Structure 1
Amino acid sequence: MPIRLPLGDTEHPAPRWALRLAKALPFVLLPHCVWRLPFAVDFRMGTIQPATSFPWWGAAYVVGLSVLTEALALLTVRGLVGSWGETFPRWVPFLAGRRVPPLAATLPATLGGLALVALWDTMPLAWFGLFGYHDVAFTNGWWKLLADVCITPVMLWGPIVLALTYAYHRRRRPA
Structure 2
Amino acid sequence: MSLHPPSTSANSASAPPRWAVWAAHLTTLLVLPSGLWRIALVPGCPGGYTATGFGAFETFEAKAWMLTLSMLCELAAFLTIGLVRPWGEVVPRWIPLIGGRRVRPLAAVVPAALGAAALTVIWADVPWWWTYPHEDMTPTGHLVVGLLYQPLVLWGPLTAAVTLSHHRRRRPARHRATAA
Normalised-by-shorter TM-score class:
0.7 to 0.9
* Residues 48, 144 of structure 2: 8 Å contact kept: no
5 Å-filtered alignment, 1:28-39, equals: 28-39=30-41
1:139-172 Cα shifts (integer Å, max 9, x gaps)? 22x2222112211101111111111100000100
**Identical columns (%):** 38
2:99 is the counterpart of 1:96: yes
- Judged with a 3 Å threshold, the aligned counterparts in structure 2 of structure 1 residues 126 and 152 are, in CA distance, closer, same or farther, namely closer
Structure 2 CA distance for aligned equivalents of residues 105 and 151 of structure 1: 27
CA distance in 1, matches of 2:107, 2:57: 43
> Take 1:145 and 1:120, find their aligned partners in 2: how far apart are those partners?
17
1:80 to 63, 80, 83: 83
Query: How far off is 1:17 after superposition?
Result: 0.4
1:106 aligns with 2:109: yes
Partner of residue 22 from structure 2, selected from 15, 20, 23: 20
Moved more, 27-36 or 63-72: 63-72
The one-letter amino acid paired with 1:58 is A
Give TM-score, length-normalised by structure 2.
0.80
| TM superposition score normalised by structure 1 | 0.82
Relative to structure 1, the CA distance from residue 80 to residue 52 in structure 2 (aligned partners, 3 Å threshold; closer, same or farther) is closer
- RMSD after superposition: 2.3
Aligned twin of 1:149: 147
Question: What is the deviation of 1:43?
Answer: 3.1
Instruction: Tell me what 1:67 maps to.
Output: 71
Aligned counterpart, 1:158:
156
Structure 2 unaligned runs (5+)?
174-180
The 2-side partners of 1:90 and 1:51 are apart by: 46
Pick the structure with more helix per residue. 2
2:177 is aligned to none
CA 43–127 in structure 1, closer or farther in 2 if over 3 Å, else same: same
**Per-residue CA shift, 1:23-62, capped at 9, x if unaligned?**
2221121111111122213433223428547322332321
Structure-1 separation of matches of 2:95 and 2:133: 42
Partner of 1:54: 58
Describe the shift of the 1:9–1:90 C-alpha distance in structure 2 as closer, same or farther (beyond 3 A): farther
Shift of 1:16: 0.7
For structure 1, the residue ranges without an aligned partner over 5 or more in a row are 129-133
